[in-house]
Structure 1
Amino acid sequence: MNITDYILNEIKPLQLNSSAKTAIKVFDNFPASHLIVVEKKVILGCFSQDDLHNIANETSELAQHSHLLNFFSANEKTSVLALFKIFSENDTNLIPVLNVDKEYMGYYQLSDVLEFFCTEPFMLEKSENLVLEKLESAYSMSEIAQIVESNNGKLLGMYLSKKEQDIVQVTLNIRTEDLQEIMHTCRRYNYKIISMHENDLYAEDLKSRADYLRKYLEI
């Protein structure tokens, strides 16, 4: 199935001559964060639910509040990861979709895009997730890939999952029979293992040493 199969038209777009009251009624009937405004297949922007609920005169036309319009959209070739970025940057659960002629086609809904993403091989493949941490200036995607593959692992995916000042965390999706060896090699290259894993011998050893030291100090 293609992501474009998830384009919806259940919520009909508004026009600038629609009233604020009409828009608010649509919000009452659908769990949407934004409503799309279209004129002759051309998207003019989106009104957020909060902005429309703050309009004092509900009988006024949306044209009087065009300064509140937000513009964001996707096209037929926008990738799933790019869609997630649009959802996040605009704090929305709905994205208008345009065709190659920039005409309005419909919209994507966040829940549907998440459902589609969960059917991707990246998510369905039997694998292990590993989160590494290192200085941004010191980490290398190619080095991480080499560590995984040199230990007979298969790197299915990798992304930057956290960044604070000069420290970054990288999340890996790995198919492997021996995660211990990969973690051991990562530590040799000064990567800190952030994720918790059963049978992590290094972590168990540190815990044992800490327990021993605690008992020694209590004597």
Structure 2
Amino acid sequence: MLSMTAEDLLNQMIPPLKVSDTAGKAAKWLEEFHVSQLPVLDGRHYIGLVTDSDVTNYEHPAHQLAVLPLGYATAYVQRHQHFYNIMEAAVQHKIQLVPVLNDQREYLGVVTISDVLAAFGQSLDVAGRGGILVLSMNERDYSLSQISRYVEENNAKILSAHVAQDEEDSYKIRLTLKLNTPQIQRIVATLERFGFVITAQFSGAEDTVPEDQERYDALLKYLSL
């Protein structure tokens, strides 16, 4: 697990755009796939990300993306890089997804922040003294007071919570909880018993190294926790 690379986490459900595609098509795809950025290719080569702000209320929807001043040309990782590098790129550039390229700068796919969360959650090197749970649920099922009650029944408390759209399913939300304890196994079992789906879990360790602590802190900052 600790050797998992960007190539292992590719999410092929999110398609790239071409420079010959129009700004109108980009706006439609951003809405359809529920993302804030999409990669743009010139042939097989990655040239940047088109964002919501690039195309929202753009006066010329028929213009090709080739004429737009795209950013994030350096916001990518190479296929052999560790998933820590993906997380760091997402945090540094404040993006939802990170393009993955081969050694010839040819596009292979993207990794979303949810993909990174899942990988990070399975890592044995998670830092910190508390725990983190990431839950996916229908918006109508969201009740922080109810979830807090289940957590507190296991002698723990929610220190902070962050709700975001689930990138994988537009009808669901992603709830990220920071807990005051690294002992989360019983909490997970309780939540799952009541039908909650845990998509990632991080159990902090006391004996952390500085590099892991920095990654942990960056992840919390990214999630606004």
Please classify the TM superposition score into its range, dividing by the shorter chain length.
0.5 to 0.7
Corresponding position of 1:96: 99
Corresponding position of 2:38: 35
Amino acid corresponding to residue 116 of structure 1 in structure 2: A
Corresponding position of 1:155: 207
Amino acid corresponding to residue 158 of structure 1 in structure 2: P
1:154–1:15 CA distance, 2 compared to 1 (3 A): closer
TM normalised by structure 2 equals 0.54
Inter-partner Cα distance in structure 1 for 2:77 and 2:118: 18
Q: Give the fraction of aligned pairs with identical amino acids, expressed as a percent.
A: 22
Structure 1 residues 22-62: Cα deviation after superposition (integer angstroms, max 9, x where no partner): 01110111122211111221111111112221421111111
Corresponding position of 2:110: 107
Inter-partner Cα distance in structure 2 for 1:78 and 1:117: 14
Inter-partner Cα distance in structure 2 for 1:9 and 1:128: 32
Corresponding position of 1:129: 129
Corresponding position of 1:69: 71
1:103–1:68 CA distance, 2 compared to 1 (3 A): closer
1:155–1:24 CA distance, 2 compared to 1 (3 A): same
Inter-partner Cα distance in structure 2 for 1:69 and 1:121: 35
Inter-partner Cα distance in structure 2 for 1:100 and 1:64: 27
For structure 1, list consecutive stretches of 5 or more residues without a partner in the other structure.
131-152, 163-169, 172-219
Inter-partner Cα distance in structure 1 for 2:118 and 2:91: 16
Does the aligned pair in 2 maintain the 1:35–1:49 contact within 8 Å?
Answer: no
Tell me the CA shift for residue 84 of structure 1: 1.7
TM normalised by structure 1 equals 0.56
Higher RCO (Cα < 8 Å, 6 or more apart): 2
Could you say what secondary structure the match of 2:17 adopts? coil
Report which of the two has the higher share of helix. Answer: 1
Q: Is 1:49 matched with 2:101? A: no
Could you say what secondary structure the match of 1:56 adopts? coil
1:14 to 4, 12, 17: 17
Inter-partner Cα distance in structure 1 for 2:72 and 2:80: 22
Could you say what secondary structure the match of 2:99 adopts? strand
Tell me the CA shift for residue 154 of structure 1: 7.7
Corresponding position of 1:205: none
What's the C-alpha RMSD, in Å, of the aligned pairs?
A: 2.8
Tell me the CA shift for residue 120 of structure 1: 0.5
